[in-house]
Structure 1
Amino acid sequence: MTTATPDPTRSTIVAADGVTKTFSTPDGRALPVLDDIDMRLDEGEIVALLGKSGSGKSTLLRCLAGLIAPSSGTVAYRGAPLTAASPGVAMVFQSFALLPWLTVQQNVELSLQARGVGEVERRERALKAIDLIGLDGFEGAYPKELSGGMRQRVGFARALVVEPDALFMDEPFSALDVLTAENLRNELVGLWEGHEAPVKSVLIVTHNIEEAVLLADRILVLSANPGRIRAELKVDLARPRDRRTPQFEALVDTVYGILTGREEREEREAAAAAGAAEAAVPRQAATPITTPLPQASVGGLAGLLEILLSMGGEEGLAEIADELNFEVDDLLPLVDAAVLLGFANTAGARIAITEAGREFTAADILTSKPLFARNAARRAPLVRAVVQALAATEGHKLREDLFLDLLRRGFDGDEARRQLDIAIVWGRYGELYDYDADDGEFVLEPGAEAAL
Structure 2
Amino acid sequence: MNTLLRLVDCTQVAQKARNQDLPIVEQINMEVQEGEILGLVGRSGSGKSSLLKIMAGLEQPKTGTVFWKDDKATPLALEGVSIILQDDVLFPWLTVRENILLALEAKRQPKAEREKIASAIIEVLDMDGYEGAYPRELSDALAERTSLTRALARQPEILLLDEPFLNIDHLSAENLRTDLIELWQEHRLGPLKAMVLATHAIEEAVLMCDRILLFSSGPGRITHEIRVPFPHPRNRHDEQFRHFVDQIYTLMTLRAPSVSEAEAMPSAEIQDESELFLVLPDLSIEMLVGLMEALEHAPHSGRADLPELAQHLQMTLDDLFPLGETLQLLDFADLEDGDIILTQTGRTFVEADADARRDIMRAALLHAVPLLKLIRGTLDERNSHAIDADVFRRRLEESMSISFARQTLNTAISWARYANLFDYDEETDRILLESEE
Task: Give the letter aligned to residue 362 of structure 1.
Answer: E
Aligned to 2:293: 306
SS at match of 2:45: coil
Q: Secondary structure at the match of 1:101?
A: coil
Moved more, 434-443 or 117-126: 434-443
- In 2: Cα distance, 1:360 partner to 1:424 partner: 21
Larger deviation, residues 428-437 vs 201-210? 428-437
Cα offset for 1:424?
2.4
Residues 1:108 and 1:325: Cα distance change in structure 2 (over 3 Å)? farther
Match of 1:334 among 291, 306, 323: 323
Match of 1:358 in 2: 347
Q: CA deviation at 1:355?
A: 3.0
Q: 1:440 to 1:370 in 2, by over 3 A?
A: same
Tell me: CA distance 1:339–1:193, structure 2 relative to 1, closer, same or farther (3 Å).
same
- After TM superposition, the structure 1 = structure 2 runs for residues 121-270 of structure 1, keeping only pairs within 5 Å, are 121-198=113-190, 199-264=192-257
Q: Deviations over 1:315-340 (max 9, x none)?
A: 12222222333321212322122112
Are residues 1:91 and 2:77 paired?
Answer: no
1:18 maps to 2:9: yes
Q: Name the amino acid aligned to 1:258.
A: L
Measured in 2, the distance between the counterparts of 1:66 and 1:197 equals 22
| 2:413 alignment partner, one of 424, 429, 437 | 424
Superposition RMSD on alpha carbons, in Å?
2.6
Kept in 2, the 8 Å contact 1:42–1:201? The answer is: yes
Of the candidates 19, 26, 38, which is equivalent to residue 35 of structure 1? 26
Comparing 417-426 and 365-374, the one that deviates more: 417-426
Please give the alpha-carbon distance, in whole angstroms, between the structure 2 residues aligned to 1:100 and 1:409: 30
- Paired with 2:427 and 2:131, the residues of 1 have a C-alpha distance of 47
User: Aligned residue for 2:51?
Assistant: 60
TM-score scaled by length of structure 1: 0.85
Asked if the contact 2:277–2:399 (Cα under 8 Å) also holds between the matched residues in 1, the reply is no
Decide whether the 8 Å contact of 2:10 with 2:64 is kept in 1. Answer: yes
Preserved CA contact (<8 Å) 2:65 2:72? yes
Which residue of 1 is the match for residue 265 of structure 2? 284
**Which 10-residue stretch deviates more, 244-253 or 215-224?**
244-253
Q: Which deviates more from structure 2 when the two are superposed, residues 360-369 or residues 160-169?
A: 360-369
**1:410 lines up with 2:399 in the alignment:** yes
How far apart, in 2, do the equivalents of 1:423 and 1:411 lie?
Answer: 15
Distance 1:400 1:106 in 2: 41
The reply on whether 1:349 has 2:338 as its aligned counterpart is yes
CA deviations over 1:37-65 (Å, ceiling 9, x no partner): 11100100000111111111011001011
> Mapping of 1:365-444 within 5 angstroms?
365-391=354-380, 400=389, 403=392, 407-437=396-426, 442-443=431-432
Q: Deviations over 1:86-122 (max 9, x none)?
A: 1111122344522222222222222222211212112
CA–CA distance in structure 2, aligned partners of residues 143 and 387 of structure 1: 43
User: How far, CA to CA, are the matches of 1:394 and 1:97 in structure 2?
Assistant: 44
Tell me, in whole angstroms, the C-alpha distance in 1 between the residues paired with 2:137 and 2:390.
Answer: 42
- Cα 1:127–1:89 shift into 2, 3 Å: same
User: In the alignment, residue 236 of structure 1 is paired with which amino acid?
Assistant: P
C-alpha contact (below 8 Å) 2:277/2:396 kept by paired residues: no
1:111 and 2:98 aligned: no
CA contact (8 A) 2:4 2:34 kept: yes
Checking the alignment, whether the CA contact within 8 Å between 2:92 and 2:136 is kept in structure 1 is yes
Which residue type is aligned with residue 144 of structure 1? R
Query: Partner of 1:247: helix, strand, or coil?
Result: helix
Of stretches 85-94 and 219-228 in structure 1, the one that deviates more from structure 2 is 85-94
Long gaps (5+) in structure 2: 268-272
The one-letter amino acid of 2:112's match is V
Q: Which runs of 5+ in 1 are unaligned?
A: 1-9, 268-281, 446-452
Instruction: Provide the C-alpha distance between the structure 1 equivalents of 2:347 and 2:244, rounded to a whole number of angstroms.
Output: 30
CA–CA distance in 2 between the matches of 1:396 and 1:145? 46
Higher mean C-alpha displacement, 46-55 vs 237-246: 237-246
* Residues 142 and 444 (structure 1), Cα distance of their counterparts in 2 relative to 1, 3 Å cut: closer
The answer to whether the Cα contact below 8 Å between 1:17 and 1:73 also exists between their aligned partners in 2 is yes
Change (3 A) 1:233 1:196: same
User: What is residue 49 of structure 1 aligned with on the other side?
Assistant: 40
Farther-moved stretch of structure 1 (202-211 vs 384-393): 384-393
Which AA in structure 1 matches 2:51?
Answer: L
> In the alignment, what sits opposite 2:310?
321
Instruction: Call closer, same or farther: CA 1:93–1:376 in 2, change over 3 Å.
Output: closer
* Equivalent position amino acid for 2:34 in 1: E
- Write the distance in 1 (CA, Å) between the matches of 2:89 and 2:393: 30
Number of positions where the alignment pairs a residue of Structure 1 with one of Structure 2: 421
Q: TM-score, normalised by structure 2?
A: 0.87
- Provide closer, same or farther for how the CA distance between residues 361 and 189 of structure 1 changes in structure 2, counting only shifts above 3 A: same
Aligned to 2:270: none
Which letter maps to 1:11?
N
Measured after TM superposition, the shift of residue 24 of structure 1 is 1.1
